[in-house]
C-alpha cells in the first residue's frame, strides 16, 4: 500500500511534537528495537530479558521457584513484557509491543503533556535527543501517542479522545508503525499509519501502584479499526533534545 511506504526522508519527519505547557515543542521519534513477533520463539522469560527488566524478571523467576508468588505475574512487570497482553492489531495481525516508555513535560500551571512509546525494543539509556537514532537496532514495530493530560502534574487516568486541534486534555498526534528498519540505531524505513489515515480514536488509561493499563482504538481510512492494549510500567525517559 503506497500510502504506508515511507522513505528515509519521511522517516526523519516522524517527529512527534507535543505542545508543552509553555507552547514549546516536546519532541519524540521512533528508534530501533526488534523482537521476533512469533510467540513460539519468544517465551515470556525471554521477553522479559529483551525488555531490559532483568532484575524484575529474575526476581519473579526466583519467587516462582520457591513457590511463594505465582501472583507476581500480575504485578505489572511481567504483564508489561507479555506479548499476549501488550500489542496492537491491524487487519487481524497482532504486533507485540512489550516495552513502554513515557516522556513528560510540566510547567506547574497548564495541563501536562506526555509522549508514550509502546515498542518491541528499547530506548537507549532511557534518553531521547530529538532524533530518530535513540533506539536499539532490533525495533520492528511500535506506537507513539501524544497526550495532553487533565492534570498539571501527571498523566491522569481517564479516557482521552483523539483530537488534533485543541489545547484541552486529549489524545493528540499518533503514529503506529510496522516493518520498521533500523541501521546503526537510526530508523531508515517503516510502514506507518498517522494522522493522514486516522479519522477518530481514543485511549483509556488506568493506573494502579505504578502499573498502567492502556486500551486504545482508532478508525482509519484504509486499514479498518486498529485496537491495542498495553499492561505494565511506563519507564521514564528524559528528553535531552
Contact 152, 108 (CB under 8 A): yes
Q: For residue 172, what is its C-alpha cell? A: 493528540
Whole-prediction pTM value?
0.68
Residues making up the chain, counted from first to last = 241
**Which residues, listed in sequence order, are joined to residue 89 by a DSSP beta bridge?**
94, 227
In terms of DSSP bridges, do strands 87-90 and 93-96 run parallel, antiparallel, or are they unpaired? antiparallel
Q: At what angle do helices 44-51 and 54-66 cross, to 10 degrees?
A: 150
Residues 11-48: tens digit of each pLDDT:
333 333 333 334 333 444 453 332 233 333 343 443 44
- Walk along the chain (241 residues) and give the pLDDT tens digit of each residue: 444 433 333 333 333 333 333 433 344 445 333 223 333 334 344 344 434 444 444 444 444 444 444 444 444 334 445 556 899 999 999 999 999 999 998 877 788 899 999 999 988 877 777 667 888 899 999 999 999 998 888 899 999 999 988 888 999 999 999 999 988 888 889 999 998 899 999 999 999 998 999 999 999 999 999 999 999 999 998 877 7
As a whole number of angstroms, the longest Cα–Cα distance in the chain is 54
Contact 96, 35 (CB under 8 A): yes
Contact 163, 201 (CB under 8 A): no
Q: What is the spatial distance between Cα 122 and Cα 31, in angstroms, rounded to a whole number? A: 8
The DSSP secondary structure of 49-86, one letter per residue, reads HHHT-HHHHHHHHHHHHHTS-GGGGGSSHHHHT-TTTS
Contact 114, 102 (CB under 8 A): yes
Amino acid at each position: 500500500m503506497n500510502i504506508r511506504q515511507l522513505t528515509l526522508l519521511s522517516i526523519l519527519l516522524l517527529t512527534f511534537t507535543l505542545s508543552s505547557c509553555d507552547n514549546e515543542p516536546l519532541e519524540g521519534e521512533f528508534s530501533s528495537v526488534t523482537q521476533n513477533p512469533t510467540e513460539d520463539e519468544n517465551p515470556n522469560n525471554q521477553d522479559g530479558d529483551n525488555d531490559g527488566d532483568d532484575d524484575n524478571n529474575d526476581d519473579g523467576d526466583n519467587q516462582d521457584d520457591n513457590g511463594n508468588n505465582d501472583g507476581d505475574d500480575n504485578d505489572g512487570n511481567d504483564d508489561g513484557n507479555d506479548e499476549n497482553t501488550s500489542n496492537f492489531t491491524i487487519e487481524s495481525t497482532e504486533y507485540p509491543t512489550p516495552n513502554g516508555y513515557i516522556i513528560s513535560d510540566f510547567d506547574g500551571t497548564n495541563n501536562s503533556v506526555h509522549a508514550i512509546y509502546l515498542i518491541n525494543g528499547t530506548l537507549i539509556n532511557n534518553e531521547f535527543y530529538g532524533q530518530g537514532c535513540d533506539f536499539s537496532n532490533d525495533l520492528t514495530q511500535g506506537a507513539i501517542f501524544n497526550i495532553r493530560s487533565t492534570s498539571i502534574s501527571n498523566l491522569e487516568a481517564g479516557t482521552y479522545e483523539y483530537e488534533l486541534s485543541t489545547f484541552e486534555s486529549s489524545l493528540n498526534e499518533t503514529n503506529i508503525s510496522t516493518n520498521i528498519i533500523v541501521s546503526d540505531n537510526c530508523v531508515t524505513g517503516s510502514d506507518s499509519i498517522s494522522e493522514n489515515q486516522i479519522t477518530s480514536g481514543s485511549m483509556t488509561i488506568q493506573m494502579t501502584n505504578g502499573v498502567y493499563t492502556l486500551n486504545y482504538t482508532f478508525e482509519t481510512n484504509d486499514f479498518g479499526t486498529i485496537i491495542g492494549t498495553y499492561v505494565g510500567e511506563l519507564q521514564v525517559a528524559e528528553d535531552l533534545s
